[in-house]
Structure 1
Amino acid sequence: MPAPSDILRFMRGQLFETPTLPKTSFAGKTLVITGGNTGLGFECAKQVAHLQASVIVLGCRDLVKGSRAKDNILSSCTSKQPTIHVWQIDMSSYASVKAFASRMPNELERLDVLLANAGISTNQFVLFEGLESTLTVNVVSTFLISMLALPQLEQTAARIGQQTHLTIVGSNIHAFAAHEQLQAPPDGKVLEYLSRAEEADMAGRYFLSKLIVMQCTRALAEKIPSIQEGQRPQVIVNCPTPGWCKTELFRVDDGGFISRNMLKLIGRTGESGARVLTSAFAAGDETHGQYYSDGRVKPPSVFARSDEGRRVQHKVWGELLSTIVRIAPSATDGL
C-alpha cells in the first residue's frame, strides 16, 4: 500500500494543480518523440510544433497512423510549420529499437530532446524478447533507446554550448507499486522472476514498471558527464509525470469499474498532461535526476527515497545495465 502522504500528494496534484506550457521557444531545435502518433506523445508533438520546433521525429509502430498524426499536427500550425519525420519503432523488439536509434546520428544534424514516451498497460501476461511485455516495453526498451541516444545528445550539447534533454516519462502511480516484488528476488534475477507467469501480478505490473523507471532514471542521471567537473550536466535527464490522463494507454487495461469511473471524474485530458512533458524539455538543472510533477520538482514515493528504496534501485539498475549491454554492447558509450 502507498504511504498516506503519497496518496495525499497524488490527489492534491490531480485535483488542484493545472499544468502550464513553458514560454520557451524551441526554434532551431530537433526533438524525437517515441509513441508520437497518439496520446501524450501526439499532444506533446503538437505543443512543441506550436512553440516553433524546427524538426520533430515521431517514433511510431504504425507508419500509417504516424502519417495521419503528422498531417494533423501540420494542419494545426497557423504559423511556421516544422519539418516532421515519421519513423518506425516497435518497442517490443530490441532490433527495431536499435534500428531506430541508428537513424538519429545518420539522419539528424542535431538532437536537442529525446522524449522516451512509448509504453503499455496490460493485464494480459505475454512475453516479448523473453521478458514480460510491460518490462520489455516500459523498462528495457525505454532505457535502451535512451542510452543509445545519449552520445548524440552529448555531442549536440557540446557543439551548441547548451544543455540538451533526455526526458523519460514516469508516473505518479509508481507510489502504488508493490515494491516487495523488487526486494524478494536475488540480485540479477529480478526481471527473470517477474517474467514467470506464476509470479506475475499483472494487475499491478504497470505500477511496478513505473517504479523501476523512476529509480533507473535517477541512477542514469548520476552517470551523466558534467560540462565542467562537478558542475552542470551536459544532458538534463528528468522524469516527468503527466498525471492520470484520459488517453489510449488504458484501452486494454482500464483498471476495472472503480478506476474507470474515477478517471472520468478526475482524469486530465491528454493535452493537459502533455504540458508537463513539454515543460520538462525546457526545465533546468534542478530537474536533473528528479521526479517532475505538475510543472515542478516533487519528492518521489516514500519507498523510492528510503534507504531500502536506494538499495533496491542499485540492485535493479545494475541488472538493467547488464541486460542492455547484452542487447547492445555500445549502449553505455554515452555514460
Structure 2
Amino acid sequence: MSASFDLGPPTRSARSLFLESQFYSSVQWPPQNTSLEGRVAIVTGSSSGLGLEASCQLLSLGLSSLIIAVRSTEKGEQVASKFRAEYPKSKIQVWSLEMESYDSIQAFAHRVEVEISRLDIAILNAGMQTANFSTTPSTGHEKLVQVNYLSTMLLGILLLPALKTKSPLGTPGRLSVVSSGTARGAKICTPKGMAVLPALDKPSSWHPVERYAVSKLLGHLFMVSLVQHVSADDVIINLVDPGLVKDTGLQGFAPLPVRIFFYCFKAVLGRKLSVGASTYVDAAVVKGKESHGCYVANWKISP
C-alpha cells in the first residue's frame, strides 16, 4: 500500500491541520549539493504560478532539459525565452497540452515516447477552478472532474512507460501529481443506484468549492489503487500539496468580490510562491521510495 494509507485518517480538525500547515511547518529546501545535471523534466501548467516557479527552481538546480507543457504555446514561449536567457546551458522546449482533450493528452504522451530519449521527472501541476457548472464537450464530464482528475490521471498513466524506460538504470523515474488538503473534507453523495461519475455530471450536484475538493479526493482514491500496479523500483509516484499559496491564479475565475476576498485571505494566510513551489521540488527530487503512493504535505509524508 503506502505509508500515508498506513497512517490512517487525521485525528485533528481540518482547521487545526490548516493552521499548522500554514504557520508551523518549516520549509525544507533541497540539500545544497542537489544537482539535476543531465536530467529531463516535464512540468504541466508551467507558464504561470506554481508551475512556473517550480520550473525555475528545477533549472536553478542544474536541470539539463525542461519541457514546458501548456495550453497556450504563445505564453509558454514567453516563459521559455526568459528561462533560456537565465539558464543558457539548459534546453527549454514548449509543448502544447490541452487537459480538456483526450486526443491532446494522447498526442503529448506519444510525442514523449518518440521525441525524447530521457525522462526523469514529471510534475502534473495543471489544474483549474471555476464558478459555474459546465461539461467538457468531447467527454460529457463535468469540467473540474475532467481536468483535475480524469485527464490528469490519464496523462500520468501514459507517462509511466517513459518514466520507467527513459530514466537511468537503477534510478526510478518520478511522477508527482499536485493535490490539495481540501480533499480531506470532501464528500461524494450519489443517488441510490447511480455510479459516481454520472452523478457528478449532473448540475444538481454542483457546488464550486465542494467540487474542487471532490476532484482532488478522487485523485487520492485513485492513487491508492494505482500504486498497487507500479513498483517504486520503476517509478516513484506521489501526491504533493503546496498548501495555500499567494500569487496564484486559481481563483481568477471568480466574481470580483470573491477575488478580493481570496486576495486578502491569501495575503494573510498564504505561503510565498517560492515556498509553495518548493514542495513540488521536494516531492519530485528529494523524497525517495518511502514516498511511493503517499500524500506529501508540508514536506513530509502525511495521512
After TM superposition, the score normalised by the length of structure 2 is 0.88
- The letter of the residue matching 2:252 is R
- 1:125 match: secondary structure: coil
Q: Which segments of structure 1 move beyond 4 Å, counting only runs of 4 or more?
A: 183-187, 257-260
1:172-191 matches, within 5 Å, as 172-177=181-186, 179-181=187-189, 186=193, 189-191=195-197
1:84-99 matches, within 5 Å, as 84-99=92-107
In the other structure, the counterpart of 1:270 is 273
In the other structure, the counterpart of 1:298 is 302
Distance 2:85 2:140 in 1: 41
In the other structure, the counterpart of 2:245 is 245
In the other structure, the counterpart of 1:304 is none
Selected match of 1:5 from 13, 31, 34: 13
Distance 1:75 1:20 in 2: 28
1:140-289 matches, within 5 Å, as 140-157=150-167, 159-177=168-186, 179-181=187-189, 186=193, 189-225=195-231, 232-246=232-246, 247-253=248-254, 256=258, 259-282=262-285, 283-289=287-293
1:107-118 matches, within 5 Å, as 107-118=115-126
Contact 1:135 1:209 in 2 (8 A): yes
- C-alpha displacement at 1:175, in angstroms? 1.8
List per-residue Cα deviations over 1:26-51 (Å, max 9, x = no partner).
11111011101111111111000010
- The letter of the residue matching 1:241 is D
The answer to whether 1:31 aligns with 2:41 is yes
- 2:69 match: secondary structure: strand
- Give 5+ residue unaligned stretches, structure 1: 226-231, 300-335
- C-alpha displacement at 1:6, in angstroms? 3.0
- The letter of the residue matching 1:242 is P
In the other structure, the counterpart of 2:66 is 56
- C-alpha displacement at 1:184, in angstroms? 5.3
Structure of greater relative contact order (alpha carbons < 8 Å, 6+ residues apart): 2
Structure having the larger proportion of residues in helix: 1
Distance 2:46 2:223 in 1: 21
- The letter of the residue matching 1:208 is V
- 2:175 match: secondary structure: strand
Contact 2:29 2:278 in 1 (8 A): yes
After TM superposition, the score normalised by the length of structure 1 is 0.80
List per-residue Cα deviations over 1:162-189 (Å, max 9, x = no partner).
1111111111121232x242x65647x2
Contact 1:20 1:295 in 2 (8 A): yes
- C-alpha displacement at 1:154, in angstroms? 1.2
Percent identity (aligned): 29
The count of residues paired between Structure 1 and Structure 2 equals 286
List per-residue Cα deviations over 1:289-319 (Å, max 9, x = no partner).
11101211111xxxxxxxxxxxxxxxxxxxx
- C-alpha displacement at 1:25, in angstroms? 1.2
- Tell me how large the CA RMSD over aligned residues is: 2.0
